[in-house]
Amino acid sequence: MSEKYFFLPFERFVQSGRVAYVSHGPHKNKLVAIVDVIDQNRVLVDGPASKIPRGQMSLSDLHLTKFRLKFPFTGSTRVVRKAWAAEKIDEQWKATVWAQKVAAKEKRAALSDYDRFKLRRAKRVRNAIRTEAFYRLKKAAKKAKANKAAAKK
């Protein structure tokens, strides 16, 4: 983004080729590509990689991602699939913090009562270690400060 010389208030647009995350509905948690804009609220989407048939979707169900595919306006499913594979969107998406958060949320929701208990215990152990390390550093810092002050005198 170093080539950008002017200020852009928005960076993600509803445009053909824009990859979007489905936040609601039967295809929740999947990625689609916007193919065409139908009107203010609806777009034509296609998700060959996530097995979402080409069709309309409400923009209120979509969250725009930073990815944009390069394919001609209203490209067919085959074109979308090819562009998707060429850009390696699935791999790129997995690497994003967003996708990792989604995965973490899913994992957390799938935890059983016993798993939650084990997690709580593990956290307690981790926090104890961290607190101890923090105090050790604090103590060392205090000592260093005192030594410095003594040397000055």
Provide the binding-site residues for another protein, judged by CB under 8 A: 109-114, 117-118, 121
Which string of b and e fits 98-122 if b means at least 16 CB within 10 Å?
ebeeeeeeeeeeeeeeeeeeeeeee
Nearest approach, Cβ of residue 125 and another protein (Å): 12
Looking at the Cβ atoms of 11 and 113, the one nearer to another protein is 113
- At its nearest, how many Å lie between another protein and the CB of residue 60? 23
| Minimum gap (Å) between residue 113 Cβ and another protein | 5
Minimum distance of another protein from residue 120's CB (angstroms): 9
Nearest to residue 34, comparing CAs of 10, 61, 66, 68? 68
Beta bridge partners of 42: 58
Distance CA(17)–CA(55), nearest Å, equals 15
